[in-house]
Amino acid sequence: MSKIKVMNENLANKIAAGEVVEKCASIVKELVENSIDAKALNIIINLEKGGLSKIQVIDDGEGMDDEDAKLAFFRHATSKIMRDDDLFFINTMGFRGEALPSIASVSEVELKTSDGKSSSFIHIKGGKVLETKSGDLRKGTSITVTNLFYNTPARLKYLKSENTEAYNIVNLIEKLALARPDINFTLTNNDKMIIKTSGSNNLLKTIHEIYGLNVSNKMLEFKANNDDFDIYGYICKPEILKSNKNDISTFVNDRIVRNIEINKAINDAYYTYKPEGKYPIVVLKINTDPTLVDVNIHPTKQDIKLSKINELYDLIYKTIKDTLYNNLLIPNAIKDESVNIIKDSVIAEIVDKMAKSNNTQTEMNFKIEVKDQKQELKTNDEVVINKELKSLVLYPVGLALGTYIIAQNDEGIYLIDQHAAQERINYEKYMKALKNRVITTTNLLIPITIELSASEYITLKDNLDILKNMGFVIEEFGVNTFKITGHPTWILEGYEEESVRKIIDLIIGGINKFDQVKFNEKMAITLACKMSIKANMHISLEAQEELLKELVMCDNPYNCPHGRPTIIKFSIYDLERMFKRVMN
Mean pLDDT in order along the chain per 10 residues (584 residues): 55 50 90 93 96 96 89 66 47 61 91 92 93 88 93 82 93 96 97 95 96 92 95 93 92 90 93 87 94 66 76 95 86 55 40 44 40 40 54 87 92 93 93 85 92 90 89 91 92 87 85 74 87 87 93 88 89 87 75
Can you give the pLDDT at residue 306?
Answer: 84
Can you give the pLDDT at residue 330?
Answer: 76
Report the C-alpha gap between 349 and 478 in whole angstroms.
77
* Topology classification of domain 441-488+493-530: Ribosomal Protein S8; Chain: A, domain 1 (3.30.1370)
Extents of the domains making up the chain: 9-196, 203-326, 343-381, 441-488+493-530
Q: Order of strands, edge to edge, in the sheet holding 42-48?
A: 128-133, 119-125, 108-114, 140-146, 54-59, 42-48, 184-189, 192-196
Can you give the pLDDT at residue 298?
Answer: 53
Can you give the pLDDT at residue 392?
Answer: 76
Neighbouring CB atoms inside 10 A of 184's CB total 18
- In this structure, whether the domain defined by 203-326 belongs to CATH 3.30.230.10 is answered with yes
Report the C-alpha gap between 582 and 47 in whole angstroms.
48
Query: Per CATH, the architecture of 9-196 is what?
Result: 2-Layer Sandwich (3.30)
H-helix segments, 157-242: 162-179, 203-211, 213-216
Can you give the pLDDT at residue 296?
Answer: 56
Can you give the pLDDT at residue 550?
Answer: 92
Q: What is the C-alpha end-to-end distance of the chain, expressed in Å?
A: 89
Can you give the pLDDT at residue 247?
Answer: 94
- For the entire predicted model, the pTM comes to 0.73
Residue type, 325: Y
Can you give the pLDDT at residue 169?
Answer: 95
Nearest to 293 by CA among 314, 282, 308, 283: 308
